[in-house]
Each structure stands twice: as C-alpha cells, then as structure tokens.
Amino acid sequence: MKDFGFTISKGRSLDLDNLQQDRVDKLLELVPSYKLCIGCGGCTASCSAAGFTDFNIRRIHTSFLRARYDDLDKQLQKCMLCGKCTLVCPRGVNTRALIINMRRILAGVDSVTVNEEKGVVL
C-alpha cells in the first residue's frame, strides 16, 4: 500500500491491492442470486451457528468483497448448511450455494474438479 504519511487503523483500511477480482467474478458466476443481496443481515440473525459461535455471514460476505481473506476459510467451516438463512432471505439469495462455492474458491478448487485425463475420479 502507498504510504501517504497518514496513520489509518488497520481495521478501517480497505486494502484493494489484495483484492482478487477474479474470485468475486467467479462467485457471481456460480451464484447469480448473490447480486440480489441487500445486506439486510437476515441470514445472520437467523443463523443456527451464530447462536454459539462468532460466525457471521454478513461479515464474511463483506470480508470476501473487501479482500480480507485471512480467516475466512476457518469461519466458513462453522456453517452447518442447515438452510435457515436461505429460507429467511427476503431477496432469494441462495446463501448455501454462496458458502459452498466461497469455500471452493478460497481453496482454489474449481466448481467441477475434473482430472483432464481421468475425468472425475470417484
């Protein structure tokens, strides 16, 4: 990041140098309904996992867009895919697909894992 001589607390800075736009594009391509998200937080409010962990879909979604990939993978592991968030979403975002595909993208696994020679190896 360019140092302009100002001090900005890390939590408030937006480091776009880290941003991997292709990850966001890929996610939007795999889960088109993600475009509809209005960030209302209904998903987070209804979340089963949020009851006893700090799991917060809304924060994860913001972190993903703002290139804060640090502990995302570990956070996403706490999701139990129970589907409550999908059911309460007022915009019909497929939040479960969002989470599964975020995990795939973060792990560098394409949505379809195919070995060029052997096909999908079961």
- What is the CB-side half-sphere exposure of residue 42 using CA atoms within 13 A? 16
Distance between CA atoms of 42 and 61, rounded to whole angstroms?
A: 13
Tell whether residue 72 is a contact of other proteins (CB under 8 A): no
Q: In the complex, what is the shortest distance from the CB of residue 59 to other proteins, in angstroms, rounded to a whole number?
A: 16
Tell whether residue 5 is a contact of other proteins (CB under 8 A): no
The closest of 89, 80, 77, 106 to 34, measured between CA atoms, is: 89
Angle formed at CA 105 by CA 115 and CA 34, multiple of 5 degrees: 125
Tell whether residue 23 is a contact of other proteins (CB under 8 A): no
Tell whether residue 60 is a contact of other proteins (CB under 8 A): no
Q: In the complex, what is the shortest distance from the CB of residue 26 to other proteins, in angstroms, rounded to a whole number?
A: 14
Q: Which residues contact 88 (CB under 8 A, 6 or more apart)?
A: 42, 43, 45, 46
Among 13, 18, 20, 77, binds other proteins (CB under 8 A): 77
Residues that bind other proteins (CB under 8 A): 32-33, 46, 48-49, 51-53, 73-74, 77-78, 80-84, 87-88, 92, 94, 96-97, 100, 103-104, 106-107, 109, 112-114, 118-122
